[in-house]
Structure 1
Amino acid sequence: MEARLTGTVLRAEEAQRHLEERERDLELAYEQAMMLQSERDRLRVGAEVAELQVAEMTRELVTLRVQRPSGDQEEVIRLRAELLAQQTLARSLQQIVTDIGRSRSRSRSGVSVSRATGASVGQYLAGSTSRRRNEEEERRRQGEGSRGGGEMLPPPDRREGSGESGGGQ
């Protein structure tokens, strides 16, 4: 009788340990699910920002087509290329968000890759926004100089002293 009772107690203790391990596993899975949901939300916001940038660049491209002389196509070509890059980025981000939404479980290394991708996307978006701001400021400055005379100043690399204007001879 005592041996049976001891065996039952040992089985109960083993079951208790098993339940505690299972509880820890569930807690870790829950934490990972919350991290993935947070990552998905962050990427969704990044995709929305990229889509807004695409829309803004599309409007800017339309404006440039209307305002720029036909001979100045380099800027339009550059903006088209940047627009295509932004559209590709937006599609990639949307695909990542979709993939994360479908994923139910993921290894820790997968989360690290996702974080690295998110950081790279964030750096790209920050650089793109800053570059666009600088270019807009340059265009505004050029536009202010052209209001009185009705013509736009040439880009900075074509102004006096650059060798292209012929004013230094």
Structure 2
Amino acid sequence: MLGDLDVEVGMTVREIGTGTGYNAGLLAHRLGDANVTTVEVDGGVAARARRVLRDAGLRPRVLHADGAEESPPAERYDRLIATCSVLRVPGAWIRQCRPGGVIVTPVSTLFGDGAIARLVVGGTARPRARSRVLPRSCGSGGRGTGPRPWTTICRVSGRVALRASPRRSTRRRSGAAG
């Protein structure tokens, strides 16, 4: 997922789901401590990650907060990565990104399957993001099914949902001549 984030030196990143601090550490090493903010909903997990990162000589900003909530309006990021799976991409994430910003997140369905989505935030008065499922997405698809192509329009004022594009079947139908 970090490769799909496509970070470059000087960019700012917000990570949702600190966990052990591993991703935040990699990002802070590459981008500098001041350019990385990581958010963890569990206070104990956030404190432990902060200690581990400091022991490694890294000091990204580690926050104990709900990552689906808004950040202060002045905080807009070039990249946002979530290591927690979501059913819907929170509109707050789109508002937290600068135009052209990228969001990478696992997205799951009520049926238990999922994929990794990569969204690019547009620069309109009503921020939107278009997404696609990445080639190495997970899911229950069988051999040769590949990822489903998703089309998403994310609206800030409304809910964000993934809609699947129709899939063309390449399998032969039973009883077909061949």
Q: TM-score range by the shorter chain?
A: under 0.3
Structure holding more strand per residue: 2
Please, what TM-score do these two structures have when normalized by structure 1?
A: 0.22
Structure holding more helix per residue: 1
Higher relative contact order (CA 8 A, sep 6+): 1
Please, what TM-score do these two structures have when normalized by structure 2?
A: 0.21
Greater gyration radius:
1
